[in-house]
């Protein structure tokens, strides 16, 4: 359990470095909550994305809603998986 709290603390520090005051992510105004949920379902439908925190998955929804290309989204996913894997405690 301690590792989870450390991860959350590291994520909060990461957000502060990026100039974000908190872990809050704005939902795309052009999407309904149902559409956001559907996008998250598609995102997490890829098993390798399941280690990515929801905070960052919502960033993916924002990128997608603003017209990011499939190549850009795949690159973003790859970077986030690598980051999340580096923060995941080894068993």
Q: What is the pLDDT of residue 37?
A: 92
What distances in angstroms separate CA 2 from CA 6, 40, 88, one per listed residue?
6, 27, 12
Quote the distance between the C-alpha of residue 79 and its chain's center. 10
Does the pLDDT of residue 8 top 70, yes or no?
A: no
21-71 per-position pLDDT tens digit? 554 566 777 888 899 999 999 999 999 999 998 888 988 998 888 888 999
Non-local (6+) Cβ contacts of 27 within 8 A are: 33, 36, 58, 61, 62
Average pLDDT over residues 11-23: 56
Instruction: Tell me phi and psi for residue 87, to 5 degrees.
Output: -100, -10
Does the pLDDT of residue 20 top 70, yes or no?
A: no
């Amino acid at each position: 359990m301690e590792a989870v709290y450390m991860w959350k603390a590291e994520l909060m520090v990461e957000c502060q470095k990026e100039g974000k005051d908190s872990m809050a992510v704005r939902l795309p105004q052009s999407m309904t909550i149902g559409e956001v949920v559907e996008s998250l379902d598609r995102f997490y439908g890829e098993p390798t994305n399941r280690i990515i925190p929801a905070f960052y998955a919502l960033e993916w929804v924002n990128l997608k809603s603003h017209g990011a290309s499939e190549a850009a989204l795949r690159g973003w996913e790859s970077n986030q998986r690598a980051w999340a894997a580096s923060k995941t405690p080894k068993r």
